[in-house]
Amino acid sequence: MADTLAPVSRLGARRFSFSNSMIPWVCIIALATVAALAADALPWLKAWPSAWIVPVTGVLNSAMEWFSEFVEPVTRAISAILEWPMVTLRDALQWLPWPVLVAAIVLLAFHASGLRLALVCLAALLYVALSGYWIQAMNTLALVGIAVPLSLALGLGFGIWSSKTRTGSRVVPPLLDLMQTMPTFAYLIPLLVMFGFGPVVGLIASAVYACPPMVRNVHLGLKGVPSEIIEAATISGSTGWQKLFWVELPAAMTQIKVGMNQTIMAALSMVIIASVIGGFNDIGWEVLSTMRKARFGESLLAGLVIVLIAVVMDRISAAYTNSERPAGAWRPAANTFWTVVAALVVSAVVIKLVGWEMTIEEARWSKNIALWLNEKLEAVVIAYGELLTSIKNTLFFFYLLPIRIGFTDTIQTFTWGFEFTAPMRWSYIIGAGVLALGIGYARSWRIGIAIAAVGYLLYFGFTGLPWVVVVAVVATIAWQVGGARTGVFALVSLLFIAATGMWEPAMLSVYLCGAAAVMSFLFGASLGIWAASSDRVSAVLKPVADTFQTIPLFVFLIPVLMFFQIGEFTALLAIIAYAFVPALRYTESGLRQVSPELLEVAVEQGCTSRQIFWQIKLPLAIPSIMVGFNQTVMFSFAMLVIAALVGTTGLGQQIFVALSSADVGLGVVAGLSMALLAMIVDRIMQSWARERFAALDA
């Protein structure tokens, strides 16, 4: 009998033994209980007292006012210097006959990747030319044409500095993390104060925003240069500068070209966002102005112009990044290529001398299509208005609202059809506690803690959670997953958000971002699982995913706004449409990278397809899938600020208000708060993924 009970006793001892990692969670449970029961007696446990708020925004505004006056002569000079080449390029693009410019870009596409890409670019550019938005498109290209070289130069310089000096390697990575998580609108606010309204602000913001991809790829490329090549250059007597420019940079050029492609797309995306400040007749302003007037037919056609410009720029730059051309693709000889270029230049001059007018100012067919789209859209909204409203209200009342304000305030007669009575509240609390204890006993105490945390969240909602509990939970997770450094960073970041008065907007942003990220991840991961199971499905979804990642953020608002008007539900759909791609790609990649030999062994052992997926493929792919989830959250944060244009609340709205009133202090504090939230999630998820990948390698 004793031998029979020994394993059971050992199992019980294992389940109920307390480890050091459990102690903080016991304290957090006690803190959460006290904060919930003593909310009236100790209100500072739930809401950050207004007396504790530090007036950072006022200090920043005063400092920025002094600084802008001090540097105004310099900023005005820089503005004039940058405006000259931008205006020159804009005038040149508008001077060129559109058939000549289309032919030149098609020739470039043909030289980059062959006939197929040339035909795609031809079709896209013909639409841009004939849609009536040619002038606006050329203005946008002029901004991109100056912003991209500036970004590339900045990226090259900082990339070399970070890879060649110890100081750069310490300073640049956290700076890049901040730049890539800082909301896009936040870039515009201090620049707006220093440089004033106009396209130069968008130009500078685009150049600054788009350089981090170049920095990272230059750093990665230089670090990846084989040491044998560097040693050979040293033996040959090359100086440091000669080694860098004659050996290392050419050897790293493949990776650097990837950075160039990403920089071009980032600059285009930021140029579109910069149109919010107005003052420039570009395609982004055309989309924004028609959206504000609810002329969705025109905004859709203009948005399609943005998408096609992005596709053309992405495909051509990506083709030059990829050194391998498609099978059978023919590239013209250098002499032939330059001969055609010369012929195009001569053609442009002749057309201008003869006086042929080839600029398309208006397009009757485009206006007719816009009117037709408006009529059809109105008919669809009238015919299916009740269905659309039902879908919107169902998801809002049964999904979004509980996450935002909790069951305590959501479950009402007019929403759920019944009241959340006291017996129901106690039943919910006891049921959640029993479920957490039971699963924690049977499976893992961490799963039990997670269930208890979800139950606590759904009871109070993000906006009703005590700030001390949120800070304690996030800091503990960061400490246990990423170490003391990550834990301190999370703690200080959250205290900064609370102390600057941004806690309530931050929780609203976290609520909407979290709700959207979960749905994006589930949708994208499901598609990724489907794509991993079929090469045909993968071949169909790959160009779809490429297209969705090419589309600038601005454009995602148009279709959802047409059917659901403004509001948080519209923002939710826009975020999902933008953020699902990383989950798709990383899920498919993780499942496809599972060792074929391991799968063969499983089949030989008699495992079914379902067993192979759930017990072998999915556990091994989890680290890659969680990297996809991390990227989904980052994409959700990026889109959250753009969604402020459709009436969302939270930090995005604060940034948009700051942009409208040129409030530098509010914009910087709100933007930095959102960046800190994104960086906390990113560091926790990356630390966890690294640990899991290391465990698999071991």
* CATH number for the domain harbouring residue 650: 1.10.3720.10
**Hunting for tokens 């997926």 — which residue is that?**
613
Angle at 624 between CA 620 and CA 629, to 5 degrees: 125
Q: In what helix (H) or strand (E) does residue 13 lie, and over which residues does it extend?
A: helix 2-16
| 395-431 b/e (C-beta count within 10 Å ≥ 16 → b) | bbbeebbbbbbbbebbbeeeeeeeebeeeeeeebeee
322 is a domain residue: no
**Hunting for tokens 């009238």 — which residue is that?**
382
85 is a domain residue: no
647 is a domain residue: yes
What predicted TM-score, i.e. pTM, was given to this entire model? 0.82
Structural tokens at position 337: 């290529």
Tally of domains in the chain: 1
Residue pair 109/121 in contact by the 8 Å Cβ criterion = yes
Residue pair 471/46 in contact by the 8 Å Cβ criterion = no
Maximum Cα–Cα distance across the chain: 107
How far apart CA 215 and CA 467 sit, in angstroms, is 37
What's the domain range around 677?
Answer: 501-698
How far apart CA 60 and CA 367 sit, in angstroms, is 47
Residue from 394, 384, 400 nearest 648 by CA: 400
Q: How many CB atoms lie within 10 A of CB 239?
A: 11
How far apart CA 604 and CA 598 sit, in angstroms, is 10
How far apart CA 531 and CA 397 sit, in angstroms, is 33
Residue pair 697/593 in contact by the 8 Å Cβ criterion = no
94 is a domain residue: no
If you write DSSP's letter for every residue of 293-333 in order, what string do you get?
A: TT-HHHHHHHHHHHHHHHHHHHHHHHHHH--SPPTT-----
Angle at 178 between CA 512 and CA 487, to 5 degrees: 75
Q: In what helix (H) or strand (E) does residue 158 lie, and over which residues does it extend?
A: helix 134-164
pLDDT tens per residue across span 54-113: 988 888 888 888 888 788 788 888 888 888 888 888 888 888 888 888 888 888 888 888
Sequence-distant (≥ 6) Cβ neighbours of residue 90 within 8 angstroms: 138, 139, 142
The predicted pLDDT at position 587 comes to: 92
**Hunting for tokens 């899991």 — which residue is that?**
692
> Would you give the end-to-end CA distance of the chain in angstroms?
40
Residue ranges in the chain whose pLDDT is less than 70: 1-19, 277-280, 294, 323-337, 352-366, 695-698
- From residue 183, how far is each of 124, 641, 644 by CA, in Å? 30, 6, 11
The predicted pLDDT at position 468 comes to: 93
593 is a domain residue: yes
Identify the DSSP state of 357. -
- From residue 526, how far is each of 288, 491, 518, 629 by CA, in Å? 33, 34, 12, 12
Q: Which amino acid is at 475?
A: A
672 is a domain residue: yes
513 is a domain residue: yes
601 is a domain residue: yes
The predicted pLDDT at position 352 comes to: 66
Question: Alpha carbon 179 to chain centroid distance?
Answer: 12
Structural tokens at position 327: 């099978």
Sequence-distant (≥ 6) Cβ neighbours of residue 169 within 8 angstroms: 162, 163
Angle between helical axes of 56-95 and 199-223 (0-180°, round to 10): 90
The predicted pLDDT at position 580 comes to: 92
